[in-house]
Structure 1
């Protein structure tokens, strides 16, 4: 039973690619930490601290929190609580609440390291237990920053709209807060040499960082710009390794967003018409049946699934589009009005279908050029001359692509074409290992790069050999390298940089 409980917690945690966890309280120091610091990391909120930043996991036991979240709207993805609580679009896991008695403090600290999960009176202890479990399941240490735990009753609370606080009398508050500070000191001592390193953020003598130092550590150049200020769009290519599982799809989308991707991309095909009857009936070993048709049918997203994907992406702030492999699927996907349509290398010889898309397209079209040559390029330029945007995506359809077959220089050719034809957008689809080829593509002029992603390893899944695992920092590191490439590439306009100065300046007359 407890294994299922922790599996659900881990399902949420696995969508974050860093080894950093934030536990968020409501002390006033939380106001000094920009929201961008938390991006991409697992955030565990105490009571209604999710109003400060939309936590992935919220822990509470008080009825007033339930009422506040019901009135103001829940923002977390998972709730760990001892009360009867549900929220649209969120999961809830119930656990018993154990009150803190006169002699039960030692038992509470013992439960931090062993025993079933409970909702402690000192909620951050339950949050630390979650962090410990995440570290154990990830198999590597986690750094846990505690933000908004100031233990100064007279300083008040963080300022945020919709906040609610149970104040009580001043003396009681001081006793409770002082008691909680003692438990934090106890936790700092007991977790030494454990799977988690706790860093208290504040101005106490035991604090590891001030709020300002935390901000400088995560945002050395000041608060991050919005992700869409970047000129290069990064696409997390999910393909079909969501396996038709909506929960798995959501985890992948959230993980891609948390890693910094601009888009996620899925696929759509009509299995019954795209494949021949012989292919559909052929034996095939998978978890979904004994034929190739049973396997392929399971991987396809339904209309309800696409509605779910569209709603999810709008809610969490990431865009989506799909590779569409046949005409019936193209008509199907238009009902969801994606901003882009991709026509993959797989169907580069299906020119009748491609021409029909070109004739009526009123949005950007992404064409992957794997397994094609200059004759295909000429045909594409003529056929798709009227589309609003044409993303020409250099690709090699080898999985993985050896270095000598990447031909990133083709992106430079597409960049030159874009200067003659402004509707062309140079792009690169990475089937090579790592980030290096994609970084070179950015320097050659690519304004979109895409990379296969996966959620753990599955022996039978397609393309997982080249995909980056969303349960590790790999895809986040890939995105970081693309952004670093953009920064280093800079501007084509030659000018004196702010960091330059003349060592031997000529004296003025």
Structure 2
């Protein structure tokens, strides 16, 4: 059986930030824009996952079990003393310690040095998990406690389904008052520890209000939540999952946590796409001694695509694939991806491209690496009837030198889009870092694509240009795209609220 520490480590490794949210059910939880939680570990108590999907849920009461069975599981991991068996997600059975008249001190002792148990005061167990995350990450964590309002009269944040908890308001007031006292005790005891606990609310001990974290601590998330013209960010996995479902899942989860809108994979029919000589050529990889051994192992099967589709639906992130040949196009249509990608690799395969254009019933993402103005004219005519054409400036050097990025082409595609409503300007970033993509957004790109990987593999294609998902690189990239959106702002010239010049007359 995989240990508690290992499972916590696996979940924590998905996220690049050192921010953790503990989610309660107070009404203030409903005032937080969901985008604030993106990219951070979220721990829910009782059935709080019905307000905002959590990574870890902690409970012991049978009414919570009934609520989760009715609404369906939304967490990756459940810590519970019950016999709850979710259809999705893993469970660790943890003993429940009831809180008696003399056992409060023991509960606080367990927080700092004792074993993990499910405490009656559930946020104490959640704080214990946060300490474990700090331990496996080997660095301090900032922990925001949201939805712990300690106002029983105010009710609960809006959530999916009904509420199954019983008890009158007087009983709840006594219980909540007792819990608030334990929070004060925990805040004191955790000073100087590896977790900096920030209670979000309007109590005298609250380190931040809801407005503080929305406006001050997470301004990018606020702007993203209010944006009406969000740039779509694609995490380009290529075949860096290496045909391994566990690796694929981790990459998808990390992309979602970083704030990506899509993940993209590839599909090709290896037997027909490459020649016999190419497949039999020597190639060193963990999968064999030939290039054919390598390419066949990287391809996702039908079951793998079913797995990918189910995972993306669960995580609420879209997926699509670069489809390099007709056999793969026929294969992939059964899985109903959000879009179809036609990569630069096959720009010369005009018969295939034209066939896709004739039957396309969804958006087409088309990269233009290794092509010129003549190809553009052919594409504009051939794909004039597709529902949406994401026309993607790309250079097929990995990495692309700065002098060859030609971001101005994105501006040209933006101009085309003003008279061709089905065209969406886009940019495929094979250059290093984020500046090219930020400039593309300023030039009018509504989609940007970035290669990603999971660690370094010398034998894998294009790893030199990919951002490593075991670090914060891709999360930082997405944040830079959102920052570019904020800075671009509106084309309408107005006096900004920040312009408080002393010589300007008051209106």
Do they fold alike, i.e. is TM over 0.5? yes
Separation of aligned partners in 2, 1:396 and 1:132: 46
Separation of aligned partners in 1, 2:196 and 2:283: 47
Q: Which residue of 2 aligns with 1:476?
A: 475
Q: Which residue of 1 aligns with 2:337?
A: 338
Q: Which secondary structure does the structure 1 equivalent of 2:329 belong to? A: helix
Structure 2 counterparts to residues 94-173 of structure 1, below 5 A: 94-100=93-99, 105-114=104-113, 117-151=116-150, 157-158=156-157, 160=159, 161-167=161-167, 170=170
Instruction: Quickly say closer, same or farther: Cα 1:502–1:197, change in 2 above 3 A.
Output: closer
Q: Which residue of 1 aligns with 2:231?
A: 232
Separation of aligned partners in 2, 1:283 and 1:97: 58
Separation of aligned partners in 2, 1:504 and 1:186: 52
Structure 2 counterparts to residues 46-57 of structure 1, below 5 A: 46-57=45-56
Q: Which residue of 2 aligns with 1:268?
A: 267
TM-score using structure 1 length: 0.87
RMSD of equivalent CA atoms: 3.3
Structure 2 counterparts to residues 5-44 of structure 1, below 5 A: 5-44=4-43
Deviation at residue 277 of structure 1 after TM alignment: 3.0
Q: Which residue of 1 aligns with 2:205?
A: 206
Q: Which secondary structure does the structure 1 equivalent of 2:266 belong to? A: strand
Separation of aligned partners in 1, 2:345 and 2:81: 51
Separation of aligned partners in 1, 2:284 and 2:25: 52
2:419 aligned with 1:426: no
Q: Which secondary structure does the structure 2 equivalent of 1:229 belong to? A: coil
Note if contact 1:228-1:262 (Cα within 8 Å) is conserved in structure 2: no
Note if contact 1:262-1:319 (Cα within 8 Å) is conserved in structure 2: yes
Separation of aligned partners in 1, 2:31 and 2:477: 29
Q: Which residue of 2 aligns with 1:254?
A: 253
Deviation at residue 434 of structure 1 after TM alignment: 1.6
Separation of aligned partners in 1, 2:399 and 2:436: 12
Residue deviations 1:362-381 (CA, integer Å, cap 9, x gap): 33322212233334334433
**Gap runs ≥5 in structure 2:** none
Residue deviations 1:170-226 (CA, integer Å, cap 9, x gap): 46962x545544443343233333321111123333221233433333565996565
**Gap runs ≥5 in structure 1:** none
Deviation at residue 36 of structure 1 after TM alignment: 4.2
Separation of aligned partners in 1, 2:503 and 2:103: 72
Separation of aligned partners in 2, 1:357 and 1:172: 62
Separation of aligned partners in 2, 1:246 and 1:282: 27
Instruction: Quickly say closer, same or farther: Cα 1:5–1:461, change in 2 above 3 A.
Output: farther
TM-score using structure 2 length: 0.87
Instruction: Quickly say closer, same or farther: Cα 1:397–1:222, change in 2 above 3 A.
Output: closer
Deviation at residue 501 of structure 1 after TM alignment: 8.9
Residue deviations 1:264-308 (CA, integer Å, cap 9, x gap): 211111122222334334444434444433332232222222233
Separation of aligned partners in 2, 1:116 and 1:400: 49
Q: Which secondary structure does the structure 2 equivalent of 1:335 belong to? A: helix
Residue deviations 1:422-442 (CA, integer Å, cap 9, x gap): 433321100112211011112
